[in-house]
Structure 1
Amino acid sequence: MNARSATADRDAIRAAIDRLLAGTPLRSNGSLTIVALADEANVKRHLLTHRHTDLKDDFYARVRARGHVPDNERKLRDDLNKATDRIKELITEINKLQGENDAFARIINVLELENHQLRTGTGRTGHLVALPAAHER
C-alpha cells in the first residue's frame, strides 16, 4: 500500500467520524460502532482495528466524551450484568444444595449409628426390632 492510499483512508475515516458524531451518516446505519465507522468510511474494518488504531481510539474517545456509550460496550455491559445475576442465582442454589447435602449426610450418619446399635444390641432398643442384614434375607 502506498502512502497516498493510507492518507486517503485516514482522511475518509476522519470524515466518517465527523459524520457519525454529527448524526449525518451517508453509507452506514449511523450507529456509533467500529463496524458502522468502517462502513461510513468505506474501508475494511481490519484497517481500523489493526492499522489505524489511533483513529479507532480517537473515535471511541470522542463518543465517550459526548456521554454516549458505544453500542458494543453497552451490549457487553448488559451481558456482564446478566452473567453476574446468573452467577448470584447459581451461588444461592449451590448454597441451598450444600445445606441439603449436609442434612442428608447427618441423617445417614444417625441411621448408620442406630443400625449398628440395633445389630449389636448396644443401644436402647425400646420398641424397635432389628431387621436382618441384606445378606441374611
Structure 2
Amino acid sequence: MTIRRPRDLEAERAALRAAAERLLAGTPLRSTSGKLTAFELLRESGLRRDVAYGDHKDLVEEFQARAKAQHCTPAATQELADQKAELNKKLADATEALAKERAVTAALRRIIAELDLELDQAREELGQSGNVTRLPAPRRRPARR
C-alpha cells in the first residue's frame, strides 16, 4: 500500500504565481522558449496539468489574460530571438563560404592529379629518348673548420 502525502495547495499556488511572474518578466528558469503560453507556465512551475487545471485554473486563466494584455514578447525572449537570427545568418554565411572553399579544393585536387600524370608522362618520355644525358648531381664540399 502506498502512502500519499497531502498536497500543499498554497505551495502549488505560489509556484504557479512565481512561474507566471518569471515568464512575464522574461526570465524563465525551466522554460526553454519563454513563450507566454499555458504549456510553458506548467513547465515553468513544475506542476502537472491535472493539478493546475483542477485546483488552480483561476491562476492559469489569470496568466493567460495578463499575457494577452501584454501584446508583446518579453524583452529577454526578444533578445534571444534576435541572437538566434544573427547566429542563423552567420551560420548561413559560413556554410556558403565552406561550399565555395570545397569547390575550390576539388578543382585544385583535379589540377594536381592532372599535373602529376603529365609529370609522370614527361619523365617516361625523357627516359625513353636517348638524346638526353643526365648530369651527375653536384658534389658537396666538406665544410671548413
Q: Scaled by the length of structure 1, what TM-score is found?
A: 0.50
Segments of structure 1 that go 5 or more residues without pairing to the other structure are 21-27, 36-47, 123-128, 132-137
Q: Tell me what 1:101 maps to.
A: 105
1:76 corresponds to which of 77, 80, 85: 80
Residues 65/115 of structure 1: CA separation in 2 closer, same or farther (3 Å cut):
farther
4+ residue runs of structure 1 moved beyond 2 angstroms? Answer: 5-14, 30-35, 51-66
State the structure with bigger RCO (CA 8 A, min sep 6), 1 or 2.
2
Count of aligned residue pairs for this structure pair: 103
1:31 corresponds to which of 25, 31, 34: 25
Structure index of larger Rg: 2
Q: Tell me what 1:63 maps to.
A: 67
Q: Deviations over 1:38-84 (max 9, x none)?
A: xxxxxxxxxx5213875579636632553110233213312211221
After the TM superposition, which of the residue ranges 62-71 and 87-96 deviates more from structure 2?
62-71
2:9 corresponds to which of 6, 10, 24: 6
The SS at the match of 1:69 is coil
Decide whether the 8 Å contact of 2:26 with 2:77 is kept in 1. Answer: no
Q: Tell me what 2:46 maps to.
A: 50
Q: Distance in 2 between matches of 1:51 and 1:99?
A: 53
Segments of structure 2 that go 5 or more residues without pairing to the other structure are 30-43, 53-58, 127-131, 135-145
Residues 6/114 of structure 1: CA separation in 2 closer, same or farther (3 Å cut):
same
The structure with the greater share of residues assigned to helix is 1
Q: Scaled by the length of structure 2, what TM-score is found?
A: 0.48
**C-alpha RMSD of matched pairs (Å):** 4.2
Seq. identity, %:
24
The SS at the match of 2:99 is helix
